[in-house]
Amino acid sequence: MPFSSSIQPSKSSICIHLNSYLFAVVIALIIFPFHVACLSLTASNGITSSRTSLLRSRIPYAQKEKEESSSSGPIIGWVLEKKIPSKKTLEFSIHWCHHGIDEGGGEGDPKPPLQVSLPLYDEDDEEGGGLSSYLWPSGIVGSILFTSPLYRSFFQHKRILELGSGLGLSGMVASAASGNVAKCVLTDRDEYTVRLLNDTILRNTKKHEKSTITPWGKCDLSASIIDWRDFSGGALRDVETASPTRQSFDAVLGTDVAYYHHLIRPLMDVSRYHLKQKSGTSSSDSNDNNNDSDEKNRVDATSECGAGVLCIVGQANRESQWDLYNNIQSGSYNQITDEHEGPWDGSTCLLLYDLAVGLWEEDTASNEEEDKYNGHGTMIKRQQRASSPSLEWNPQKMEEIVPIATLLHSMDGKIHNSLIGPYDKIATKEDEKNQMMSF
């Protein structure tokens, strides 16, 4: 309320207002760097740039003795990311490394790096700008893990649901990595984001009869709405008809979705709602009208993971990621029913990694590219100089090092036989105790 002309402000009130002003300045200084970091993924500066992000295991080297690396693990995968504002495009090249670890693919793994193109958020787009308009570190990690031989083998002939897909990087990789996924549905909470997801699908696939052809094979691939933040028995909603459909899936995936405590309960509920519950059965397929001819060839998940598998990739420095893990593994209080729930059936674990996010560097070769014409009047482009990124783990050349925790839960308790490799560090109570939390 403003001061009246007959009342003079006291010294204490002036101090209060000064303190409030200083507090606002401090908050602005805290938020501003985060805002700038987000804008690094927008199309505002018009300069083509690239960066490399490295995923490292927390399992120490066993076969090689290196003074600097003996206490840390090998690089198990990396992503080359290119930002092309002129095309409003983000291009990704996703690589899996083996380093002598034979866990199905071996050194002679025939799969080439997976190339994925995403829409680049434009600041002039009034509808965008939310969390789903940007790519977060956990999405990069998910894309690397899902290209590993273990995940590629598991995804074969499976039905996959991704929650909070955002731009759709991890979900696109999951749909394409094995070369023969039965079905993959990318989801997010609103129509704007689902339009972005459909853009991502169109950029990376082509239609052939009832299937979608991905870079490595074919898949029944689509985008739909799930606003699981306020989940209360809801289901997938078709964007055009708004009709709900309850479907069960062999795998429910998510990257950076458990970032607030109040999201844990609805995330648990919607995941369990859509997960296949036990070997050979489904929670409900009554409304699933998928009649793709490949369905008859779908391998039942009983061979390795008979029931559904939940995989949530998040940051290890967030308490909510650990709380999600502890709630599923040990049980939790349900605020909705006002009752204590026991642990989920099956087995649960948390796997730890480190992600080094590289600095954006101007792509000189792309920015100086010139159009030329040959003698027949056909336009040709100067071949871009390809440079192999450095895979050296050097924190001084990185924007940040992000601790990563991947939650895995199998409804039938067989995840240890199928999705955990020799490079995966299984978290302990000591790891949770020693992890510095941000929020």
Q: How many CB atoms lie within 10 A of CB 100?
A: 11
- Superfamily (CATH) of domain 134-278+306-362+393-437: Vaccinia Virus protein VP39 (3.40.50.150)
Q: How far apart are CA 373 and CA 351, in angstroms?
A: 53
Greater model confidence, 113 or 240 = 113
Give the per-residue pLDDT at 356: 95
Angle ∠(69,173,191) on CA atoms, nearest 5: 125
The whole-angstrom separation of Cα 73 and Cα 422 is 11
Counting residues of the chain whose pLDDT is more than 90, the rounded percentage is 40
**pLDDT score of 292:** 40
Is the pLDDT at 355 greater than 90? The verdict is yes
Residue 120 has a CB neighbour count (10 Å cut-off) of 21
pLDDT the model gives residue 237: 57
> Helix, strand, or coil here: 387?
coil
Distance CA 214, CA 207 (A): 9
pTM listed for this prediction: 0.77
Q: Is the pLDDT score of 98 beyond 80? A: no
| H helix runs in 60-117, sequence order | none
Provide mean pLDDT across the span 101-119.
Answer: 63
**Average pLDDT, rounded, for the chain:** 74
- 346 secondary structure, DSSP code: S
DSSP code per residue over 297-337: GPPPGGGS--S-EEEEEEETT-HHHHHHHHHHHH-EEETTT
Q: Are 275 and 307 in contact (CB under 8 A)?
A: yes
Considering the chain, what percentage of its residues have pLDDT values greater than 70? Answer: 63
Average pLDDT over residues 66-80: 73
Query: What is the pLDDT averaged over residues 275-283?
Result: 62
d(CA 185, CA 17): 52
pLDDT of residue 287: 39
User: What's the rounded Cα separation, in Å, for the pair 312 and 329?
Assistant: 14
Please say if the pLDDT value at position 172 is more than 50: yes
E strand or H helix at 141 = helix 137-145
Regarding predicted confidence, which is higher, 395 or 294? Answer: 395
Instruction: Provide the pLDDT confidence category of residue 113 given band limits of 50, 70 and 90.
Output: confident
Contact in structure between 407 and 324 (CB atoms under 8 Å): yes
- Residues with Cβ within 8 Å of residue 116, at least 6 apart in sequence: 91, 92, 94, 143, 169, 172, 173, 176, 204, 215
pLDDT of amino acid 46: 75
Band of pLDDT at residue 337, cut at 50, 70 and 90: confident
Token code pair at residue 199: 């853009």
pLDDT of residue 65: 45
Q: Which residues contact 101 (CB under 8 A, 6 or more apart)?
A: 74, 421, 422, 423
Segment 67-82 mean pLDDT: 77
Helices 319-330 and 264-274: angle between axes, nearest 10 degrees: 50
Please write the tens of the pLDDT for every residue from 202-255. 998 876 555 566 666 778 899 998 887 766 544 555 555 555 566 889 999 999
The residues, ordered by sequence, that sit 6+ positions from 285 with a Cβ below 8 Å of its Cβ are 247, 248
Give the Å distances, CA to CA, from 331 to 184, 265, 373: 29, 12, 67
Backbone φ and ψ for 377, nearest 5 degrees, come out as 80, 10
pLDDT higher than 80, residue 90 = yes
Per-residue pLDDT, 307: 82
Interacting residues of 300 by C-beta distance below 8 A, sequence separation 6+: 279, 280, 306
- Provide φ and ψ at 86, rounded to 5°: -65, -25
323/60: higher pLDDT: 323
